[in-house]
Structure 1
Amino acid sequence: MAKSKFSAQEKLEVIQAYEKGNFSIKEVIEQYQISLSTFKDWRNKYNHLGLEGLQPSKSWTTYLKETKLQAVHDYLSGKYSLAEIIIRYGISSQSVLGTWIKQYNGQKDVKTTGKRVNRPMTKGRTTKLEERIFIARDCMENNKDYQGIAERYNVSYQQVHQWTKKYEEGGEDALRDRRGRVKPEAELTSEEKTALQMKKLEKDNERLRAENALLKKLEEIERRRE
């Protein structure tokens, strides 16, 4: 019997089973009893969003009619791949998008679906560089609709605004996560330079204390030998 739900960690294990070369795609989908489209969905979301993209949805997703039509039009234009459209509009899977395309091509009415509307995030979430670049570009192409883009990609308004501004001013490199990077001394403020000097003094004092303690230990050993 096929497993109905997978945790984010279990989905990651499935992806890694293939990427580590342990199994072929055919062997993976047979082993874990999933469809090929499901495997591709998981892999695309992981590549674009990391582990966050593999998290199970906690609520029903509402897709407005306008969003569905725009997604279908983007696909038919040939400008975007299925994976890019799914990330662009926050669609749950390729099969969902495929259903919209079939309805559209069959001249059926494409209606708003879902039970609960996703609320925009206020605290933001962790993202990869590729996703930040994609979101910043999309925001610029859509007349800087920060709130609309934030809701589309399930990130905060502040994140979209910050990424777009950085991308405009410094390009892709400006969107890199520089946490943990050591600033060159020329970039330090006077306060940062003072703090750095204090840390160096503390380390020097600690080193001297350790050396003195070692010398005392050696002297004690020598006395015992006499």
Structure 2
Amino acid sequence: MSKRTKYTAEEKLKILMEYQNNYISIVELCGIYEIYYTTFYKWKKQYEKQGIEGLRESRTWKKYSKRLKEAAVLDYLSGNYSLRDIIDKYEISSVSVLERWVNRYSHRELKGTRKGMSNL
């Protein structure tokens, strides 16, 4: 398990199944396991798309082209989409990645992600 998450893929699955099989609200479940509801929904979507593999933490940076970054930022700035809609549409790893692009867009040109670099 890495420093970024305190739950293994199997533990995440157990939490998702606990919600699915019990009459417990997401708010209660997130309180018990000390996770944000947005994290719960992210896990749920990843599991629905990729099964248990979707719950495993990636060990590599996801690469995004300059064109994809600009399209995502422009979609957000248009006001026609929510952050969540855009990360789903462009398969961006998280809302915080998109927020970083939006913040940087007004200050400097976006660049594609190069090998070995964070998503700038």
Distance 1:56 1:67, change over 3 A: same
Structure 1 gap ranges (5+): 118-226
Aligned residue identity for 2:107: K
Equivalent residue, structure 1, for 2:41: 40
2:107 is the counterpart of 1:108: yes
Q: Provide the rounded CA distance (Å) in 1 between the counterparts of 2:99 and 2:37.
A: 14
2:76 is the counterpart of 1:95: no
Q: Provide the rounded CA distance (Å) in 1 between the counterparts of 2:25 and 2:99.
A: 25
Equivalent residue, structure 1, for 2:19: 18
Aligned residues: CA RMSD: 3.0
Compute the displacement of 1:75 (Å): 3.8
Compute the displacement of 1:9 (Å): 1.9
SS across alignment from 1:57 = coil
Q: Provide the rounded CA distance (Å) in 1 between the counterparts of 2:65 and 2:87.
A: 15
Distance 1:101 1:28, change over 3 A: farther
Q: Provide the rounded CA distance (Å) in 1 between the counterparts of 2:28 and 2:7.
A: 18
Equivalent residue, structure 2, for 1:66: 67
Equivalent residue, structure 2, for 1:29: 30
Aligned residue identity for 2:34: Q
Q: What fraction of aligned residue pairs are identical, expressed as a percent?
A: 42
CA offset digits 1:115-166 (Å, max 9, x no partner): 548xxxxxxxxxxxxxxxxxxxxxxxxxxxxxxxxxxxxxxxxxxxxxxxxx
Give runs of aligned pairs for residues 158-173 of structure 1, distance below 5 A: none
2:37 is the counterpart of 1:49: no
Answer whether contact 1:71 1:89 (CA < 8 A) is retained.
yes
Count of paired positions: 113
Distance 1:34 1:69, change over 3 A: same
Query: Structure 1 length normalisation: TM-score?
Result: 0.40
Q: Provide the rounded CA distance (Å) in 2 between the counterparts of 1:86 and 1:45.
A: 12
Write 1 or 2 for the structure with the bigger share of helix: 1
Which structure's relative contact order is higher, taking Cα pairs within 8 Å and 6+ residues apart? 2
Aligned residue identity for 1:16: M
2:10 is the counterpart of 1:9: yes
Q: Provide the rounded CA distance (Å) in 1 between the counterparts of 2:114 and 2:39.
A: 20
Query: Structure 2 length normalisation: TM-score?
Result: 0.67
